[in-house]
Structure 1
Amino acid sequence: MESSGHVIPGRRHIAIIAPPTAGHINPLVALGAALAATGSEITVVNLAEAAPLVADPAVRFAALDHSADRDGGLATYMSALARPSGPIGLPRMIRTSAAMTRLLLDTLPAALTRLGVNAVIADSVEPAGALVARHLRLPFVTAVTGLPLLREPMVPPPFLGWPYRPGVIGLNRNRGGYAVSDLLMKPITGTVAGYARLWGLDPDPRYQWSDRLQIAQCPAGLDFPRAALPPSFRYGTPWRRSEPDERLPREDERPLIFCSLGSLQGARRSLFAAMTRACAAVGARAVVAHGGGLSDREAASLPGDPLVRAFLPQTRVLQHCSAAILHGGFNTVLDALAAGIPIVAVPLGFEQPATAARLARVGAARVVSSRDAGRGALEPALRRVLTDPGYRRAARLFATEIAAGGGATEAAALVDAAFGGWADAMPATLRRPTGETACAA
């Protein structure tokens, strides 16, 4: 739904700025709907092609004014994200992400001004949100929809599957990893720094993080140990909208195994085939959600008599499953843990290897590389998580923690408090400039 520029005087109008992908927008829409219940107006501001992702009537959508052909549009962006690793895929993905950030930096200031926005929720992985908020002198909070990305010397870089290793060896290893990561990320960090200087702002990347609130949907127990979290940081539990129940056909008593590669990698037919074959080998039946990535012919050709759908309400389906084989996408991992089921993780890119390392550390998953998955390694890993009660026990501990958490409602209350006060609801044109405070990152 397109939002108008009219804002009720004194009413808070919050813009959500995030990458135009389901993995980020879906939980933020759940958070936005919970915030709307407190009386705020919530608008997701993004590319017009992202409008179908905003499916809750409590949350508005506003399209940016841009040329779809300028940087290839959403199709080019999604294509690069679908192949995020390797010597060709990784640099291409980073360059494409930098182009998306540049597009947002060019178009967001005018859009937020036109809409009468007076506060921003900025996804932590898209630096444009925080920088534009600073440029317009709008209060903002940081939403951490995936792993917390805050840098600490003893915590490995978030895009590597390194285990937590305290001590000098781990410290030196992490230092080298961050040096390489910083070099690879220069197309994005250089773009952000250039716009910061253009707008007369300090380009220090620490300003990307809100000193009001950094709210995560990550449970505290899933992250590596932290020693220097800023006072504004809060762990949480998943931000979800209610999904309809799904009755799966049960022709026999075989256990069900949920298989997913998320919304970006669902076209990997060979990996899905390895998953369904492993399920059949252990006497289970795969339940595949491919996100529209497979053709009908490809879906029908998967071995092992799987149940295959383009989309499934995974929070509901996972409750009927005995385990999950996942790529390590953060939302699906959280939903599997909420259902209390163990995981076989096959990380493909982004922060998925780091998520898998954390799952292995807490004992809720076995980790298999995508290469080994195609060589038969999924069967013994799946058999292990199904027969070793320690994996299910670890997953159920998270299920208890998540069930006791406040989810999107609790997160919305924290955001509402962080934006509290009449001065924060004033249009940016009426507020006096204030100094900036860097938040440790």
Structure 2
Amino acid sequence: MSRVLICSIGQLGHLNPMISLARHIAAAGHEVRVATGPDMAHQVAHTGFRHLPIGDPGELRPEAFTESRGRRLIAELTPRWIEDLERHVAAWRPDVVVRQWLEGASLVVAARLGIPQVICEVCLRLPPEHSAYHPALRIARDYGVDPRALDGDLWLACYPPRFARPGTPRLPHEHHIKPLLYDLLPEGDPYDLMPDRERADPPVPPPGRPLVYATLGTMYNKATSVFGALAEAFAGQDYDVLMTTGPDCDPESVLPGGPPGNVRLARYVPHSVVFQRCDVVISHGGFNTVMCALAERLPLGLIPLGSDHGTNARRCAALGVALVYPRCVQEPYLHVAPEDVDPALVREMTATLLSEGSYRDAARAVGAEIAALPGLDHAVRLIEDLLKAR
């Protein structure tokens, strides 16, 4: 049995895929602990893993995470994360650190102590021409870490090869695996924030009409005006809609007057439930949502709001699996301001995705590639092989 430290930025979009891998590692008999922000204590508790808090509560503000501002924010917070992580590692020396490629605190701690590193690419890494903007590169330089440590000892690219940025060179120790898709935990609801009335009412409409699933994920769901625009876009259409607002967002606060008759609201619905039933996904373009939809071979309508959404939207458009909101601003990153989302354009996007089969055909091709990838059990074996070789 080995000691495996999972490190994640303290937000659900970053933590959830790492929890998926952690569960497989633990099932193989290894001891797992999760180092992430204190705001994630509740979510980690549901997994049964020991939570090692790093940083301060409330320091990761959703409005700060554009591509440029997010890099600066992480750079400012990383020194404190390093201090916290060093204390945890001193008390519990892991055999391996499993981290995300853009996170610098565990990079520094692992490199200082010679602990092997497994890198999870759960959002696309930067192309070579933009490598100077790597969010952890500055951290490595500031702390005297060899920049080669940025690539770790084992690299898990958690997406199909065709989704990679064009021109991104494959690393010699890189392995593509199935996306780290997070879903309902077997022992119960991972978000017990939901009131009983929401649990009791099945949110997924019965079969009969096409179903559109709409979500803004778990961070950009704070852009509540977009939910109103989506509801207006979908109202009265000849399809049903399931819209999830996120575990920390009360559906009644999003649409105080109630949703249109063909729209159902819920905080959270397991992807295994909704994606197998729906026909089209309308989303902000978060990496996890995109991968879940493509794994189920579903076309997407993408309204990028910030962070890496624009990158994902461009890749989806290039692969023919998605329509991207047509009035995005190009600089400094592809996005649309929440208040500028036009219901008429969303309605048109949705109608096109439902009526034109080319998007579904392209999504099926990408989904087939995902299905053929080795799964998380293979990832665990790669980690074990790394430890045996040390």
Shorter-chain TM range is 0.7 to 0.9
Q: Using the TM superposition, give the Cα deviation of residue 249 of structure 1 relative to its aligned residue in structure 2, in angstroms.
A: 4.9
Q: Report the counterpart of residue 257 of structure 1 in structure 2.
A: 212
Could you tell me whether the CA contact under 8 Å between 1:36 and 1:58 is conserved in 2? no
* Aligned partner (choices 308, 332, 341) of residue 373 of structure 1: 341
Normalising to structure 2: TM-score of the pair? Answer: 0.84
Tell me if structure 1 keeps the 8 A contact 2:6–2:32: yes
Flag the structure with more relative contact order, 1 or 2, with Cα contacts below 8 A and sequence separation at least 6: 1
The Cα of 1:119 is off from its aligned counterpart by: 1.3
Q: What is the deviation of 1:231?
A: 0.7
* Aligned residue in 2 for 1:388: 356
- Structure 1 position 53, deviation (Å): 2.3
Q: Distance in 2 between matches of 1:331 and 1:224?
A: 17
Please report the RMSD computed on the Cα atoms of aligned residues, expressed in angstroms.
2.6
Aligned to 2:178: 237
* Mapped partners of 1:364, 1:138: distance in 2: 40
Q: How does 1:112-151 map to 2 (within 5 A)?
A: 112-147=89-124, 149-151=125-127
Give the Cα–Cα distance (whole angstroms) in 1 for the partners of residues 21 and 10 of structure 2: 16
Separation in 1 of the partners of 2:68 and 2:364?
A: 38
For residues 334 and 194 of structure 1, the distance between their equivalents in structure 2, rounded to whole angstroms, comes to 34
Gap regions ≥5 residues in structure 1: 1-10, 67-72, 158-177, 425-441
State the 1:295 CA deviation: 5.5
Counterpart Cα distance in 2 of 1:293 and 1:386? 28
Contact 1:220 1:236 in 2 (8 A): no
CA offset at residue 56 of structure 1?
5.6
Q: For residue 110 of structure 1, what is the amino acid of its counterpart?
A: R
Please list, as runs of the form range in 1=range in 2, the aligned pairs for 1:3-402 lying within 5 A after superposition.
Answer: 11-55=1-45, 57=47, 59-64=49-54, 73-77=56-60, 79=61, 81-85=62-66, 92-147=69-124, 149-153=125-129, 181=133, 189-196=137-144, 201-202=145-146, 204=147, 206-210=148-152, 212-226=153-167, 228-240=169-181, 243=184, 248-250=203-205, 253-280=208-235, 282-291=237-246, 292-294=248-250, 296-301=252-257, 303-305=259-261, 306-368=263-325, 369=328, 370-371=336-337, 373-374=341-342, 376-402=344-370
2:193 is aligned to none
Aligned-partner Cα distance in 2 for 1:227–1:17 = 25
Gaps (5+ residues) in structure 2? 190-198, 329-335
**How many residues are matched?**
363
Structure 1 residue 216, shift from structure 2 partner: 1.8
Does structure 1 retain, via aligned residues, the 8 Å contact 2:97–2:116?
yes
CA contact (8 A) 2:227 2:255 kept: no
Q: Aligned pair in 2 of structure 1 residues 271, 396: CA closer, same or farther (>3 Å)? A: same
Residue 306 of structure 2 aligns to a residue in which SS?
A: coil
Q: Answer with 1 or 2: which has the greater Rg.
A: 1
Does the residue aligned with 1:341 lie in a helix, a strand or coil? coil
* SS state at 1:19 partner: coil
Identity of aligned residues (%): 26
Q: Distance in 1 between matches of 2:249 and 2:310?
A: 22
The structural deviation recorded for 1:419 is 2.1
Equivalent in the alignment of 1:435? none
- CA distance, structure 2, for counterparts of residue 382 and residue 360 of structure 1: 15
Alpha-carbon spacing, 1:303–1:208, altered in 2? closer, same or farther (3 Å): same
What is the CA–CA distance in structure 2 between the aligned matches of 1:381 and 1:351, rounded to whole Å? 21
